[in-house]
Amino acid sequence: MWPWEHAALGYVCYSALTRRRLDAPPGDVAALLAVFASQLPDLIDKPLAWTVGVVHSGRMLAHAPIVAVALCFGVWWYLARRSETEYGVAFAVGYLSHVASDALQSVLVGEYAYARFVLWPLLSVPTDQQESVLAELGAFDPALSATLVVSAVVGLATVGLWIADGTPGLGVFHRS
C-alpha cells in the first residue's frame, strides 16, 4: 500500500472506533497521531533495510506484531500515565492498521511469503529485491492503473469522512 493509503486507513479506523466508543469525531491531536503512527512501520523498517542495511526486509522489525504490539502498549502506557489515554489509543490504531493491512494485502494477492513478518522472528522473511521495487515504481502508469482509480475513490471518500468529522488535525495549526 502507498503511504497515503495507510494514512487513509489509519484515519478511517480511528474515526470509526472513536465514533463508536465516544460518540464523537476524533480530536485534533489524536487524529494527527493516528495518521503519523500509520506511517511509522515503514518509516522505521524501510530505511533500516534499504539505507542502513541492518535488516534485510522493509517489512520486518517494526512490522512484526511481537514488536508492534509491545511498542503500541509502551506508548499507550506512557500516555495513559499522563492522562492522555486517547492519544495512546490513536497511536495504536494507526500503527496496527498499517501492520494488519500489509499482511492482509499480501495474503489477498497470494504473496504469502510477504506476510511471514506476522510471525517474525519465528518465521524468516524474504530479502527485499531493491531492483524489483524500483522496477515496480518505474512501471507505474497513472493513466492506466485501475488500482490508482480505486485508490483515488477511497481517498476522496476518506476526505469526505474527514470533512464530516470537522477536519480534525487542522485545529492544531489554527491554535498557534
Q: Which residues bind Zn ion (CB under 5 A)?
A: 41-42, 102
By beta-carbon proximity to Zn ion, the closer residue of 134 and 170 is: 134
DSSP 14-83: HHHHHHHHHSSPPPHHHHHHHHHHHHHHHHHHHHIIIII-SSS-SSSTTTSHHHHHHHHHHHHHHHHHTT
| Nearest distance from C-beta of residue 134 to Zn ion, angstroms | 17
Q: How far is the CB of 74 from Zn ion (least distance, A)?
A: 20
Q: What is the smallest separation between the CB atom of 123 and Zn ion, expressed in angstroms?
A: 17
- Whose Cβ is closer to Zn ion: residue 41's or residue 168's? 41
Q: Is 140 helix (H, G, I), strand (E, B) or coil?
A: coil
Residue nearer to Zn ion on the CB measure, 18 or 97? 97
